[in-house]
Amino acid sequence: MSDKILELDQVSKNFGGNHAVSAVSFALKEGEIVGLIGPNGAGKTTLVNVITGVQRASAGRIHFDGLDVTDQRPFQAARRGLARTFQIVQPFPAMTVLENVAAGALFGGAQASRAEATAAARTHLEFVGLAAFADRPASALTLSGRKRLELAKSLAMKPKLLMLDEVNAGLNTSEIDGALTLIRKIADRGVTILVIEHLMKVVMSLAQRLLVLHHGQLIADGVPREIVDDPRVIEAYLGGKFAKRVKEMQHG
Amino acid sequence: MQYLQVLANGIVLGALYACLAVGFSLVWGVLNVINMLHGSFIILGGYLTFFAWQNFGIHPLLALPFVAAILYGIGYVTQLLVINRVVSQPVLTTLTLTFGLDLILYNYMTVFYTATPRRVTLDLGHVELGGIFMPVDRLFGMVLALALTGMLYVLLRGSRIGRAIVAVRMDGAAAALMGIRINRIYAITFGIGALMAGAAGAIFSMVFPITSNLTGDFLGKAFVVCVIGGLGSVPGALVGGLALGIIESFAGQFFGPQHALTVGFLLMLVLLVVKPTGLTGIKGYE
Amino acid sequence: MTPTTRYLIFALWVIVLASTPLWAGNYFVRMAITIAMFSALTLSWNLIGGFTGYPSLSTAAFFGLGCYVGALSQRAGVPMILAWVAATVFVAVLAAVFGAIILRLRGHYFAIGSIGLVEVLRLVTSSWGSLTGGGDGLNVPLVQGGPNVVAQTFLAAMVTIMVIVFVVTVLVDRGRLGFGLRCIQQNEDAADMVGVDTTRYKVIAYTLSAMFCGTVGAAYASWTGYIDPTDTFSILMTIKVPVMCLLGGAGTVLGPVVGTGVYMILEEILWANFLDYNRAILGAVTVLLILFLPGGLLRISYKTVLAQLAARFNRLGAAA
């Protein structure tokens, strides 16, 4: 049990009559890189929101690092080592890049003083390759720069588990390669990583295991190679008709 | 029987409140601006009606369209030339701006018209029905207030301009993409807000003595009605206005007239926290 | 501007205000008292309105409450300074409770709720005649001594309160709290995500911003010797304070002091010269401020302005 860092047990989230997430159960082992995939609207972001306390689960329990965190608030998640980046990046626009990261270090990473937080922030900026932009306002960064900033901010919070929500969306191929290298480096430090993506090919190379969400339900959980051949996954991604046609073609 | 009388008074008052607040609510809902000028617009409408009646003997009903048109013009120009420049900025900016404009308008009214309470006296007598006593001018005011509020509703639902206003209220960016000129819609909306304020003022001048000292009170009423009923919709203002009128009427009866206002404001504070979308539950701008 | 320059400017301003009895008449001493008083209020407002970015319009609620708690305590025989302390504590507790409820609202709803508090307290005070004297107001025991002694006492008191709030502002600005508040001001959800306990921080900021309004109110009641509901729970005051702060520069340390000084001196000149139109002129100043000076006086880059002016003059010179 102790090597499970995060465990979801029958977690559901309803909005009115709409089941955004229904009875999802899975566990993440310490040090794993896991991909959470699914088509748009599958409930991936809602699931992350529920895990980090942005939205409260309608049913089920969530355990993190041996603690029941089902009813936690986002700031508590941050302090417990549950960090995330956003699909739509959320910087403090008028603050400098350095201050943005220092905020993560001070409040989430429990640094004792602003001076220490700033010092820690510098090393994280160097790690993600933004050291040269430390004193620019965050709003002046490009999209890929802002995604790196998000990453540095999350790292400054000394996470045990890092959830990356579509970090690659909107980036070009070489930027994606850079981001993937960074994510591997973070994993090498022993941080458990959950990569949320709707593009399957991005996670294929990165993740040791894939979780597939469709209409709020977990339809598959396994190693990437098996997942891509799973008919339910193909159907989820390509739609029923198309999947049937593929099947017919295979049967000749 | 006594309660019926209190209820009748409340409904009459409530209709006037709805008419008073509906323009404020529209501006808040569509422009996301708290219009601190609203109270002064009401008084200006009332004064203009009064002077038309006193100096030229024009019947208020005849003056009302002209007063409304003048207020519309003032509102349209104010929004187009001044408020539009900062309309997308934070609450405090637009609130402070309209407060500054209000100081100017208020000062103008006190200097040129003085703060003497004024009232158009029509002497229409009163009616008695089933033991309920009601002055005819009040009844007349109520009908007029409901008619104007209803007309605004029809305008918003039925006309091209109305549909455009509603579109901007729902999603300004999408409306702009569809070719709606946002700044013009904002100006029209603010103009309509001022028009409704002016019309409400005209009606008030027939029912109660009005003075520029009342601008703050009217503004406060508009706040309360909006929060009680829900923002930015005509039905919301109607429900909020009627609710406030009836509550004030009964609170005045049971706790004494000096507490009627307090009860209204307390209700507003409670509702703000418990149900910010108001009684009608129609979601406001934010 | 370095922090040291800021503190030096503030120290100089404190000396100017505090020394008025030595070099000026009663009129200027009175003005110095009023400026110190409003500076304390704008500095207070800045903590919630500037640092945290919540459009609070409840200054007059806490000021008025301070007036009444102070006055009633003094009438009950509590010594003046203790009455001020009582007012401060009372207002702080009430603000913490009210803040915990109302700070869940954002934007316009928060603004309306905070201004609603002013109205409710004014109405309650007006109608609770047996305790507050209702619309007739309350007399407060006067300070013993000649007019000069009284003026100097209250000048010392108001300047001291102003200095205290300034020190609090500096401490907040440099500390963890201030950093967290700025995060909230920039993006509240993101602040929550990086581990800022936003609710707690907002309530602390709101309480800090309210409590000294209570102190100022109690001191004001002792100074004037008479208070009534419309004068103390004034909507004009509740909006004037943010305007003064915006004029100087909201969210800065020195801005509230600069804004208050400039505004009050301007207002005084207008009162003296255009009695009938002073409100309209204040309104015009407010409108111009919002349209052309959105960041306040302290955010103007004076170097750029001077450079532009110089360039214009040069062009004129060349044309001639």
**The tokens of A230 are what?**
């799973």
**The tokens of A100 are what?**
């943005």
How far apart are the C-alpha atoms of C178 and C196, rounded to whole Å? Answer: 11
Give A50→chain C minimum CA distance, Å: 13
Residues of C in contact with B262 (CB under 8 A): 120, 123-124, 127
Radius of gyration of chain C (CA): 21
Chain C residues with at least one Cβ partner in A under 8 Å: 174-176, 179-180, 182-183, 186-187, 189-198
pLDDT in tens, C25-39: 889 999 999 999 999
pLDDT in tens, B230-278: 777 888 899 999 999 999 999 888 887 777 778 888 888 888 877 766 6
What does the pLDDT read at residue A1?
Answer: 44
pLDDT in tens, C199-246: 999 999 999 999 999 999 999 999 999 999 988 998 888 988 998 998
What does the pLDDT read at residue B90?
Answer: 82
How far apart are the C-alpha atoms of B201 and B210, rounded to whole Å? Answer: 9
ipTM (interface predicted TM): 0.85
Helix (H, G, I), strand (E, B) or coil at C128: coil
Subunits with 3+ C-beta pairs closer than 8 A to B: C
Give Cα A61 to chain centroid, integer Å: 19
Give the start-end residues of each E strand in C91-159: 138-139
How far apart are the C-alpha atoms of B161 and B164, rounded to whole Å? Answer: 5
Do residue C196 and residue A75 have CB atoms under 8 angstroms apart? yes
Q: Could you tell me the residue ranges of all domains in chain B?
A: 2-215
Task: Report the percent of chain C where pLDDT is more than 90.
Answer: 61
Helix (H, G, I), strand (E, B) or coil at C51: helix
Question: Is the pLDDT confidence value at C153 over 50?
Answer: yes
Question: Is the pLDDT confidence value at C142 over 90?
Answer: no
Which residue stretches of chain A have pLDDT < 70? 1-2, 238-252
Do residue C180 and residue A73 have CB atoms under 8 angstroms apart? no
Do residue B272 and residue C53 have CB atoms under 8 angstroms apart? no
Structure pTM? Answer: 0.88
Q: Which residue of C has its CA nearest to B277?
A: C109
- Cβ-Cβ contacts under 8 Å for A23 (sequence gap 6 or more): A10, A11, A12, A59, A60, A217
pLDDT in tens, C77-114: 999 999 999 999 999 999 999 999 899 888 788 888 89
How far apart are the C-alpha atoms of C297 and A194, rounded to whole Å? Answer: 48
In chain C, DSSP finds a helix count (H) and a strand count (E) of 16, 2
How many CB atoms neighbour CB C144 within 10 A?
Answer: 8
Helix (H, G, I), strand (E, B) or coil at A96: strand
Least reliable range by pLDDT among A222-226, C57-61, C283-287, C305-309: C305-309
Can you state the angle between helices B38-56 and B60-81, rounded to 10 degrees? 140
Angle of CA points C160, C162, C163, to nearest 5°:
65
Q: What is the mean pLDDT of chain C?
A: 90
What does the pLDDT read at residue B213?
Answer: 85
Residues of B in contact with C284 (CB under 8 A): 100, 104
What does the pLDDT read at residue A242?
Answer: 60
How many CB atoms neighbour CB A3 within 10 A?
Answer: 10
How far apart are the C-alpha atoms of C304 and C134, rounded to whole Å? Answer: 54
Q: Which residue of C has its CA nearest to B31?
A: C108
Which residue stretches of chain B have pLDDT < 50? 283-286
Length of chain C: 320
Give me the mean pLDDT over the C42-54 stretch. Answer: 95
Residue linked to tokens 């009836």:
B246
**The tokens of C27 are what?**
């009129």
- Cβ-Cβ contacts under 8 Å for A214 (sequence gap 6 or more): A38, A39, A42, A232, A233, A236
- Enter the DSSP assignment of B120: -
What does the pLDDT read at residue B285?
Answer: 33
CATH class of A1-81+159-225: alpha beta
Q: Which residue of A has its CA nearest to C175?
A: A114
How far apart are the C-alpha atoms of A36 and A31, rounded to whole Å? Answer: 16
- Enter the DSSP assignment of A222: E
Do residue B103 and residue C291 have CB atoms under 8 angstroms apart? no
Give B159→chain C minimum CA distance, Å: 29
Do residue C196 and residue A104 have CB atoms under 8 angstroms apart? no
- A92 and A138 Cβ atoms separated by less than 8 Å: yes
Which stretches of chain B are DSSP H helices?
2-31, 38-56, 60-81, 91-113, 136-158, 160-170, 172-177, 182-207, 215-229, 234-255, 260-274
Q: Which residue of C180, C190, C196 is in closest CB contact with A90?
A: C190
List the strands of the sheet with A209-214, edge to edge.
A82-85, A161-165, A192-197, A33-37, A209-214, A217-222
CATH class of C3-319: mainly alpha
Q: Does C97 touch chain B (CB under 8 A)?
A: no
How many CB atoms neighbour CB A245 within 10 A?
Answer: 12
Give me the mean pLDDT over the C259-283 stretch. Answer: 86
Question: Is the pLDDT confidence value at C2 over 90?
Answer: no
